[in-house]
């Protein structure tokens, strides 16, 4: 059974920092790309950052100067370091694991997509 468990959120003042963690189980973590998303009140999910199994990294333009994604395969954990937090960063932060398996030739692969329960980040002004 695949499980993604986020932690590290909390209430922080504007300009503060947090380290969010996502511990994964039930998957071959080192072979899977991971991502962090967030959802602000009343808004859709948006990508913050993603890291491939080969550690290619993509940060969303809105946060690339303040957020840093990293992974520690030995601990099956992906992190999101968030610095210089702003009130507009308030929201629930979710960990995501997505991968494709199987398929071949004319047979498309099957996609797998899992989410954690989220961790709340609240930034006060």
Average the pLDDT over 3-16 and give the result.
97
Residue 25 is predicted with a pLDDT of 94
Residue 78 to residues 35, 96, 97, 106, Cα–Cα distance (Å): 8, 10, 10, 34
Band of pLDDT at residue 109, cut at 50, 70 and 90: confident
Band of pLDDT at residue 104, cut at 50, 70 and 90: confident
**Residue pLDDT, tens place only, 77-98:** 999 999 999 999 999 999 999 9
Residue 61 is predicted with a pLDDT of 93
Residue 105 is predicted with a pLDDT of 84
Kindly tell me if the per-residue pLDDT of 113 is higher than 90: yes
Enter the DSSP assignment of 109. Answer: P
Q: Are 27 and 36 in contact (CB under 8 A)?
A: no
Q: Give me the half-sphere count of Cα atoms (radius 13 Å) on the Cβ side of residue 23.
A: 4
Band of pLDDT at residue 102, cut at 50, 70 and 90: confident
């Amino acid at each position: 059974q695949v499980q993604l468990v986020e932690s590290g959120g909390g209430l922080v003042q504007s300009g503060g920092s947090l380290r969010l963690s996502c511990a994964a189980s039930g998957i071959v973590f080192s072979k899977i790309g991971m991502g962090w998303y967030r959802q602000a009140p009343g808004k859709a999910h948006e990508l913050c950052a993603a890291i491939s199994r080969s550690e290619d990294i993509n940060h969303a333009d809105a946060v690339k100067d303040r957020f840093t994604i990293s992974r520690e395969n030995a601990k099956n954990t992906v992190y999101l370091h968030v610095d210089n937090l702003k009130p507009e960063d308030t929201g629930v932060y979710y960990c995501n694991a997505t991968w494709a398996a199987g398929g071949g030739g004319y047979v498309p692969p099957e996609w797998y997509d899992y989410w954690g329960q989220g961790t709340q980040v609240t930034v006060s002004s």
